[in-house]
């Protein structure tokens, strides 16, 4: 049985994850991270088992689309910057022998306030650590927007 993973992207109409040799609209391929990060220069698609873990690893604001996929292929990220408490996994060209379908699950508007709340709550020393795994922290509106209930961060 495959595991459920999440990927966040500013691209609104993704349909599949595929090997870098497949280049077409709606497909995301492994790519190297921006040079501004102190991370390994390995082309990859980043995944996490929870949406909040994806958010904790994204250092930019804006509208991000949430995609879900099922696979047992990801490898544990190594040498990445950021919070060691966030489980980041990768799909590289070595794992992508066939295309993996993406399911659109909505979007989130990441801003500084939300990023700081998630960063704080993802720290194991925080007494509220683990609260982000509670689905009640999130309200998903009819149009698919994921909203974090800020009272959980207080």
Boundaries of every domain in the chain = 3-111
Give the position of tokens 């998903």: 140
Total length of the chain: 154
pLDDT digits (tens, 9 = 90+) for 95-128: 998 899 999 999 999 998 888 888 888 887 888 8
Confidence (pTM): 0.88
**Coil/strand/helix, residue 151:** helix
What is the per-residue pLDDT across 124-152, written as a single tens digit (0 to 9) for each?
Answer: 788 888 888 888 888 999 999 999 886 65
Of 100, 153, 97, 103, the C-alpha closest to 129 is: 153
Contacts with 66 (C-beta within 8 Å, 6 or more apart), sequence order: 6, 8, 51, 54, 104, 105, 106, 107, 108, 146
């Amino acid at each position: 049985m495959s595991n459920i993973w999440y990927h966040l992207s500013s691209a609104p109409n993704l349909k599949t994850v595929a090997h870098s040799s497949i280049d077409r609209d709606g497909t995301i391929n492994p790519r190297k991270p921006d040079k501004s990060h102190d991370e390994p220069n390995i082309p990859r698609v980043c995944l996490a088992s929870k949406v909040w873990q994806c958010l904790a690893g994204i250092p930019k604001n804006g509208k991000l689309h949430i995609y879900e996929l099922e696979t047992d292929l990801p490898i544990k990220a190594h040498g990445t910057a950021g919070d060691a408490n966030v489980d980041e996994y990768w799909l590289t060209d070595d794992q992508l022998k066939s295309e993996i379908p993406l399911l659109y699950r909505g979007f989130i508007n990441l801003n500084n306030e939300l990023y700081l709340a998630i960063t704080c709550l993802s720290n194991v020393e925080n007494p509220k650590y683990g609260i982000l795994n509670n689905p009640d922290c999130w309200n998903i509106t009819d149009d698919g927007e994921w909203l974090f209930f800020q009272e959980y961060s207080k």
